Amino acid sequence: MDLFVVWFTKYWYLIVIIAVVVLLPSVLTTLAKRYVFRVIDQQSVVNRQVMGTDRAERVLRTGQPAVGVVLESYDTAMRVERIYILVRLKFQVRPEGGLPAYETELVAPISPVKLADFAPGRSVKLRFDPVSREIAIDQPVR
């Protein structure tokens, strides 16, 4: 017992260094995990905003059917999840039920396989909100 007391009083600073060396990797790992998970959450929020998922879900759920004719389509040079191409589409929206037609634009993530379905002159099934005139594509884009 006396040997331990002598060693501890003589080399107490080594215990602090050993504790730091042992605990530091654990603390850094925990902090890194928190940062990574925060970044992943932010990426999913940004993806949902860029893709317009929340707005599109609302319009698909509550909107009225319409047919849209693609007037123009442009590649925005942006990708979502490295696969889907964000395409700016200009539509002439023809609502069912006798409402007047109107033109509007939409940026939508489209699979390269389905890109030909959104070429100028093609008809696309849509849903639209008659109040805000927001639209959502009501056919497969992936």
**Domain spans in the chain, listed from the N-terminal domain onward:** 2-49, 57-137
- Give the DSSP H/E element, type plus range, for residue 85: strand 84-95
Residue 6 C-alpha from the chain's centroid? 62
d(CA 71, CA 120): 5
Predicted model pTM = 0.64
Max Cα-Cα span within the chain: 98
Q: What is the pLDDT of residue 75?
A: 92
d(CA 93, CA 101): 5
Q: What is the pLDDT of residue 139?
A: 87
Q: Are 88 and 105 in contact (CB under 8 A)?
A: yes
**Averaged in consecutive runs of 10 residues, what is the pLDDT profile of the chain (142 residues)?**
77 81 89 88 75 78 94 91 90 91 92 93 94 90 76
d(CA 83, CA 45): 18
Q: What is the pLDDT of residue 7?
A: 77
Question: Per the structure block, which two tokens stand in for 99?
Answer: 């409402």
CA-CA-CA-CA dihedral for 130, 137, 88, 51, to nearest 10: 100
Half-sphere exposure of 114 (CA within 13 A, CB side): 15
